């Protein structure tokens, strides 16, 4: 396996080094369920092909595959617009590595972590051509972020952590990232008339308002650049060749998704 940087070996933080003080409030009940979420994804990655594994319970796989491509294309546009090339990219909770493979051509060094051994092997295979990459099998809470990253991506992973752990991860990102780094968080949030809640369909997940994630990030010293819902991103992708259609397209998507209670949100921050 290639070493992403001479003199630096990615490693996990021993569980004994984490703050194990008893959590308060809802987090007191959440901690055992985090392991349930990890177990769910480890089993799912082992049993399902990557394309279906990342969309549990999906009834319209073609739509979900299309929506994933739209989010990836839009995100790459923002990444490229921020700067032409990155020194060090970190993908937290990389899954089967499709996002990491998209970031790979844009960075000199690529790091990623993922809790599922099967996903780790798939991510390594997808990025094997990168001259300096390291994909580590680790719990996000235990993963030691490489210092000086100027692009950090946490896609669909913070929802599997209780609030206290989310704050801790965001604080570690803020500490480890380079000044001016581009941080992108994508999560499955509640929207419209939906209410924050915990579900057990994927072992354990917390569905927050996007504004809650924003507040958590800002409390750790990250500066918000943008908060976007998936419908608004789809609209922009539709109208990319005719910018004048962007607002009408957003309005149409907004109207058509008023019944949604959850949607993917992308939040971009600056360190």
With respect to residue 3, please indicate whether it lies within any of the assigned structural domains. no
Position 175 in a domain: yes
Within-domain flag for 16: no
Q: Looking at residue 131, which CATH number applies to its domain? A: 3.40.50.150
What's the longest Cα–Cα distance across the chain? Answer: 55
CB of 148 within 8 A of CB of 225?
no
Q: Which residues pair with 226 in a beta bridge?
A: 268
From first to last of its 271 residues, what are the pLDDT tens digits of the chain?
444 554 445 554 444 344 434 444 455 455 567 888 899 899 989 988 887 778 776 667 788 889 999 999 999 999 999 999 999 999 999 999 999 999 999 999 999 999 999 999 999 999 999 999 999 999 999 999 999 999 999 999 999 999 999 999 999 999 999 999 999 999 999 999 999 988 888 888 999 999 999 999 999 999 999 999 999 999 999 888 788 888 888 899 889 999 999 999 999 999 9
The pTM assigned to this predicted structure is: 0.87
* pLDDT at 21 (0 to 100): 41
List C-alpha distances in Å: 31 to 18, 188, 206. 13, 20, 12
The DSSP bridge pattern shows strands 107-114 and 133-137 to be parallel
Is 240 a domain residue? yes
206 DSSP β-pair partners: 198
Residue-level pLDDT at 58: 64
The C-alpha atoms of residue 217 and residue 94 are separated, in whole angstroms, by: 20
The verdict on residue 144 lying in a domain is: yes
Identify whether 100 is part of a domain: yes
Domain ranges, residue 64? 25-270
Please tell me the predicted confidence (pLDDT) of residue 241: 78
Question: How many independent structural domains does the chain possess?
Answer: 1
pLDDT in the model for residue 250 = 86
Residue 63 lies in a domain: yes
pLDDT, residue 117, reads 96
Tokens 């996990």, located at residue: 12
pLDDT score of 202: 82
Question: Does residue 10 sit within a domain?
Answer: no
- What does the block give as tokens for 158? 């913070």
Q: Which residues pair with 90 in a beta bridge?
A: 111, 152
């Amino acid at each position: 396996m290639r070493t992403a940087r001479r003199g630096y070996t990615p490693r996990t933080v021993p569980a004994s080094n984490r703050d194990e003080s008893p959590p308060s409030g809802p987090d007191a009940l959440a901690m055992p369920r985090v392991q349930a979420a990890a177990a769910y994804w480890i089993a799912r990655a082992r049993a399902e092909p990557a394309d279906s594994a990342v969309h549990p319970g999906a009834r319209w796989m073609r739509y979900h595959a299309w929506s994933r491509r739209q989010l990836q294309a839009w995100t790459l546009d923002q990444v490229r617009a921020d700067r032409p090339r990155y020194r060090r990219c970190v993908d937290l909770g990389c899954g089967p590595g499709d996002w990491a493979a998209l970031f790979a051509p844009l960075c000199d060094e690529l790091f990623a972590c993922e809790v599922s051994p099967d996903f780790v092997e798939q991510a390594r295979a997808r990025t094997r051509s990168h001259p300096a990459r390291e994909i580590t099998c680790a719990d996000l809470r235990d993963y030691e972020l490489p210092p000086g990253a100027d692009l950090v991506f946490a896609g669909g992973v913070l929802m599997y952590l209780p609030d206290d752990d989310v704050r801790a991860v965001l604080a570690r990102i803020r500490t480890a990232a380079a000044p001016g780094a581009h941080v992108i968080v994508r999560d499955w949030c509640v929207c419209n008339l939906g209410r924050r809640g915990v579900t057990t369909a994927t072992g354990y997940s917390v569905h927050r308002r996007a504004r809650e994630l924003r507040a958590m990030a800002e409390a750790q010293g990250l500066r918000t650049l943008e908060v976007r819902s998936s419908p608004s991103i789809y609209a922009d992708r539709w109208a990319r060749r005719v910018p004048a259609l962007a607002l009408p397209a957003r309005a149409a998507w907004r109207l058509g998704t008023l019944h949604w209670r959850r949607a993917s949100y992308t939040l971009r921050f600056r360190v």
